[in-house]
Chain A
Amino acid sequence: MKLALFADIHSNLEAFTACLDHAQALAADRFAFLGDMVGYGADPVAVLDLVEQHTLEGAVAVLGNHDAAALGRPVAQMNANARAAIAWTQAQLGERQRAFLQSLPLTARDDNMLFVHASAAAPERWTYVTDAADAEQSITAGNAHYLFCGHVHQPTLYYMGSGGRPMPFTPVPGVPIPTAAHRQWLAITGSTGQPRDGNNAACYAMFDTGRERLTYFRVPYAHGLAAQKIRAAGLPPRLALRLERGA
């Protein structure tokens, strides 16, 4: 079974559809959405409707901090641009999109896989997994062989090394990584809609459960168009610049 994973789409329809097309060309059977579907970008409704369509066909989706903020729930640590984008997003969402977001859980489990937006250790606190200690806490709390998450907009793979502590690994796009089920893995797939590692191509990952291989992908997309939409919507221009820079 080939599972396509998307995190931090952030209302970026161009990036999202480019990655969906890429995943479909590789015969993805299942889809998982790891939170922050909205915020920052200019197409919250289109993105949410597309995600909801997938969940009706069996896809997994979990709630991110920007999604929670869009529902009016109190979320700390948001900068001015993020809050402005959320305020604008709230005005765009209709009843259907709100109901869909409200239905989303913080975590979802399937067999030996766990899906969460930020960290499995206190998901509602939206902790960033930035080092081995954070990864260890998330892995321990998650209690799964494969923990898929987002929130950090940089593709990383943490694996349990022989010393018992998680080791970070920066994946090479397109290279299938053997991820044997007898180890524990924490995969941050990178952001589909707002990459922040200096590369403006959209991120997503594909997990082949039969072969136990995880591949990270970078998919170039029309970031100029997405940026233009952000400016046209009156959102903070810095958010448009971030898409062009990939930072």
Chain B
Amino acid sequence: MSAPGEGSEIDGFRLGELIHVGSMASIYRLHGPEGPLPLIMKIPRLGAGERAVNVIGFEVCRMVLGALAQSIHYPTLVAYGDVETTPYLVMGYIEGARLNESLGRAPLPPQEIVHLGSALALALHELHRQDAVHLDLKPTNVLYRASGEAVLIDFGLAHHAHYPDLLAEELRFPVGNWVYMAPEQIFGVRADPRSDIYALGGILYELATGRPPFGRPRSVAALRQRLYRDPLPPRAIAPATPEWLQEIILRCLEVDARERYASAEQVALDLANPSGIAISARGAKLRRDPWWTRLRRRVHATHFEPAPCPPPSGRPPQAQIAVVALALRETDAQLREALLAAARRVIAADQDCRIACVTVVPPAATLNGEGDEFTATGRHIRRLVELRRWAKPLQLPEERLTCHVLESDKPAAALSDYARMNDVDQILIGASASTAGARRSGGACASIIAEAPCNVTVVRPRAED
């Protein structure tokens, strides 16, 4: 099968310049009659002598990207060709700088690491929220848009909980890049979103120190070192690294997935709020663990049991999900209190129920000004922090509370879609008692009541007597 060249045509798509040649596929820009289109075509290399994993990678990419809801955090799949005849994937062209370009300047100042890291963590969270895991996170697979959001690319090794895993097998060679690979991935576990968090930790480490935590292993034995050998603490290599940053990095790099962050969103929140982090010995240490600890770990590593994967978002049929829709612009403290009380009642009625705090914001238009607070990521994180602050009095454990910021011009439609996608049982929404507030929120309330696929409870603050 001869490789297509620039100018050739496949299924009506006209190939422009070859913009990238990877190990598994080649990427071409697509052209229309008037010039380049904002589309690219990825063609897997399937000639004689090419690895069989290229075919499967193509199928996996197609399956996973096709299953994900549209998002700014990964490419949109526009069209694809059949693997047996003419395999190709047409995706949206993403303008942005690859993360490995920033790495060239590492070690980076902490503020820049926070900026890059939290954007990447939010992108990962969006993926994990939809029961998918990337499993091949590395600097060449992350782009940053001009507006600051991170974009994940290359889903050829990804896993989606709703689909058969075409790459799962009795693995003899761990599949994926070895630099940022999580310990459980070495054992063939492919369903744990915390593996992506481990890779995120590896990337943060490299941004802070200029080198990856475990070098670039060339053999499986070298790869397995991360099972028992802790990395040199970042502060030993780059003394300017703050303790809180080291705490975050080393927590992401814990061998046991249960000791890492449970969600990428939490990593983003910690990066943006260092004052809230409890610094332990992990954050302060300047040396590797002593030899007897390493020896003990090495013995344990021979019986390494990957932690059980957290279950995908399918939940037992009895457990309810209640959405609390918060309008963060609404400053009525009594209304917020009333919503808290209503949420408490829901929790008291059902021991297993989950609460999702959701707010809808208009999509990021052009944001002016310098600094994190003006980037889309910065704004997103600020809103998440506010949601969490509201939810704190509920004292729910992490697995029963989630917070989401949805970007949409139509709050009612966005909430209804969210409710539909997540099988939500009820929505709690606040209606302000004040006339000004009622005018603002009344319209939204009515639309949500009309469009929601589930029960809607309108919460009003108690009137003052």
Q: Report the contact-size class of chain B (Cβ under 8 Å from the partner).
A: 20 to 34
Are the C-beta atoms of A169 and B317 separated by less than 8 Å?
A: no
Q: Add 19 more A-B contacts to A167-B164, A178-B163, A180-B83 (CB < 8 A).
A: A157-B164, A159-B164, A161-B165, A161-B168, A162-B166, A162-B167, A163-B169, A165-B169, A165-B170, A167-B168, A167-B169, A169-B163, A169-B165, A172-B314, A175-B162, A177-B163, A178-B62, A181-B84, A199-B317
Contacting residues, chain B, for A162 (C-beta < 8 A)? 52-53, 56, 166-167, 169
Contacting residues, chain B, for A73 (C-beta < 8 A)? none
Contact A161/B83 with A172-B314, A199-B317 known, Cβ cut-off 8 Å: no
Contact A159/B166 with A180-B59, A180-B83, A182-B84 known, Cβ cut-off 8 Å: yes
Is B385 an interface residue, CB under 8 A from the partner?
Answer: no
A159 to B52, CA, bound (A): 17
A-B interface, 4 closest residue pairs, ranked by CB to CB distance from nearest: A163-B169, A169-B164, A161-B169, A175-B162
A219 to B53, CA, bound (A): 38
16 A-B pairs, CB-CB below 8 angstroms?
Answer: A157-B164, A159-B164, A161-B167, A162-B52, A162-B166, A163-B169, A163-B171, A165-B170, A169-B163, A169-B165, A172-B162, A177-B163, A178-B62, A181-B84, A182-B83, A199-B317
Contact A177/B164 with A162-B56, A182-B84 known, Cβ cut-off 8 Å: yes
Is B18 an interface residue, CB under 8 A from the partner?
Answer: no
Is B63 an interface residue, CB under 8 A from the partner?
Answer: yes
Per DSSP, are chain B's interface residues mostly helix, strand or loop, or mixed? Answer: loop
A246 to B62, CA, bound (A): 36
Q: In the complex, which residue of chain B has the Cβ closest to the Cβ of A183?
A: B166
A164 to B52, CA, bound (A): 12
Q: Report the contact-size class of chain A (Cβ under 8 Å from the partner).
A: 10 to 19
| Distance to closest chain B CB from A139 (angstroms) | 14
A169 to B83, CA, bound (A): 22
Q: In the complex, which residue of chain A has the Cβ closest to the Cβ of B172?
A: A163
Q: Mark B295-337, 1 if CB is under 8 A from A, else 0.
A: 0000000000000000000100100000000000000000000
Q: Which residue of B59, B163, B317 has the most chain A CB atoms within 10 A of its CB atom?
A: B163
Contacting residues, chain A, for B171 (C-beta < 8 A)? 163
Contacting residues, chain A, for B56 (C-beta < 8 A)? 162
Contacting residues, chain B, for A163 (C-beta < 8 A)? 169-171
Q: Mark A128-169, 1 if CB is under 8 A from B, else 0.
A: 000000000000000000000000000001010111110101
Task: Give residues of chain A (162-215) contacting chain B, Cβ–Cβ below 8 Å.
Answer: 162-165, 167, 169, 172, 175, 177-178, 180-182, 199
| Distance to closest chain B CB from A185 (angstroms) | 9
A21 to B169, CA, bound (A): 39
Task: Give residues of chain B (149-173) contacting chain A, Cβ–Cβ below 8 Å.
Answer: 161-171
| Distance to closest chain B CB from A199 (angstroms) | 7
| Distance to closest chain B CB from A149 (angstroms) | 17
Q: In the complex, which residue of chain B has the Cβ closest to the Cβ of A172?
A: B162
A167 to B169, CA, bound (A): 7
Contacting residues, chain A, for B83 (C-beta < 8 A)? 180, 182
Are the C-beta atoms of B166 and A161 separated by less than 8 Å?
A: yes
Q: Mark A43-63, 1 if CB is under 8 A from B, else 0.
A: 000000000000000000000
Q: In the complex, which residue of chain B has the Cβ closest to the Cβ of A161?
A: B169
| Distance to closest chain B CB from A219 (angstroms) | 14
A167 to B165, CA, bound (A): 8
| Distance to closest chain A CB from B446 (angstroms) | 30
Contacting residues, chain B, for A199 (C-beta < 8 A)? 317
Q: Mark A202-239, 1 if CB is under 8 A from B, else 0.
A: 00000000000000000000000000000000000000
| Distance to closest chain B CB from A198 (angstroms) | 10
Task: Give residues of chain B (130-188) contacting chain A, Cβ–Cβ below 8 Å.
Answer: 161-171
Contacting residues, chain B, for A165 (C-beta < 8 A)? 169-170
Are the C-beta atoms of B52 and A178 separated by less than 8 Å?
A: no
| Distance to closest chain B CB from A214 (angstroms) | 10
